[in-house]
Amino acid sequence: MKRIALALAVASFATALTAAARAQTPAERVGRGVRAYRDLDYDSAAVILRAAVALPGTALADSDRVRALVYLGASELYQEHRDSAAAAFGRVLRIDPRYQIDQLIFPPEVTGLFQQVRLVTRAVAVVVQPLTELRIAGDAVSIWLYATTFHPVDVTIRRPNGAPLRALYQGGISDSLQLRWDGRALDGTPPDSGRYLLQVDSRGADGHVVRSVVLPLDVARERRDTLPLPAPLNDSLFRPEHVPGGTGLRQVLTGLIGAAAVAVLPSVVAGRASASGDRLVVAGGFGIAAILGFQAARRPQPIPENIAANRALQLAWQHEVDSVHARNVARGQEVRLLIRAGAARVVEAQ
């Protein structure tokens, strides 16, 4: 029994230690503060939540920090620290300008003060897709702005050194506003690869910048790959354009027979004294004709329809080569932009 009791005591102690360790995490601190507020222990809630929001920026997620500040503001208000409550609500709106306080959880005196703070807090939330690819005319980066209240803003794309690349908007914003950037500078040319800045300046009633939201944009400029040229035509695609020549024996035999016939004709056939000379001339003509016929018969003979088909095939291939070349020239002039948006940060005016 003693051993069982000892084991239970050890287990209980370990559980308590684990719970205590969990209670020390930033999120758990916020939870403890919220529970104290709900128990109407506003003094304890304010102390716990004030310590939670004082932690370094990376210790609390934005959602936990906003939750802590809202309950801290409500706790401060019930302690009659109205200015501290307003300051907490102002921090909420600078973190998340779109935040709306839940009227089902907080009573009118808390929600009323929150709305009053909204009216005098000039802040903007900037939302950009993590990755945008611009390929053709008309493509653009979509930029959404969400404001706490109506106020004038300046929206500018800036170079890495802070110099303006392109002004996108200058004017008032009430609730939300959508802008588009086509990835071009003021002169219409795409920028070089590098990091650029989307900067949104909120201006006060006096026209001075009260705070800025700065969001990095990493631009990667790429040219399109060229298309491969068509492969040369294979010889097997072409038709034979000539037929082989003959032996020429037929032409030679014909000429020799003619020459022999003329040579043996009697002189009476010629009818003149110079018949022998004439016979020799005619026989020589038959011989020359036989030689020329022999040479002509041995030469390859063209096939017109095959020559025309091969010419058409060659012209079609050359047309395709010229077309691909023209498209590659056009591709070389086209630029594709890949734009990656980073995390926005708020810069308060000095």
- Per-residue pLDDT, 312: 87
Residue among 348, 350, 96 nearest 211 (CA): 348
> Residue ranges of the domains in the chain?
2-120, 124-221+337-348, 235-333
Of 136, 146, 78, 154, which Cα lies nearest the Cα of 109? 78
Instruction: Pick one of 3.30.70.20, 1.10.1660.10, 3.90.1150.10, 2.60.40.2550 as the CATH number of 124-221+337-348.
Output: 2.60.40.2550
pLDDT digits over 265-314, tens only? 555 444 555 556 655 555 565 566 656 555 555 567 788 887 888 798 88
Q: What is the pLDDT of residue 18?
A: 44
Reported as a pLDDT band with limits 50, 70 and 90, residue 213 is very high
Q: How far is CA 92 from CA 27, 37, 38, 288, 305, in A?
A: 17, 18, 20, 114, 86
Q: Averaged over 209-229, what is the pLDDT?
A: 88
Residue in the block written with tokens 């102390």: 47
Has this prediction a pTM greater than 0.85?
no
Which tens digits make up the pLDDT trace of 254-268? Answer: 655 655 665 555 554
CB atoms < 10 A from the CB of 306, how many? Answer: 15
User: pLDDT tens across 177-189, in order?
Assistant: 999 999 999 998 8
Residue 171 predicted with pLDDT over 90: yes
CA 256 to chain centre: 84
Strand ranges inside the chain, DSSP E: 124-128, 131-134, 141-147, 151-158, 164-173, 176-181, 194-203, 209-223, 242-243, 301-302, 335-341, 345-348
**Distance (Å, rounded) from C-alpha 111 to C-alpha 293?**
116
**pLDDT, tens digit, 9 for 90 and up, residues 75-87:** 999 999 999 999 9
Q: Tell me the three state secondary structure of residue 184.
A: coil
- Closest of 26, 146, 54 to residue 98, by C-alpha: 146
The DSSP symbol for 190 reads P
Radius of gyration from C-alpha coordinates of the chain: 48
Rounded Cα distance between 75 and 39, Å, is: 11
Element (H, E) at 309: helix 304-333
What is the structure's pLDDT at 6? 44
| Domain 2-120 -> CATH class | mainly alpha
Of 24, 48, 23, the closest CA to residue 34 belongs to: 48
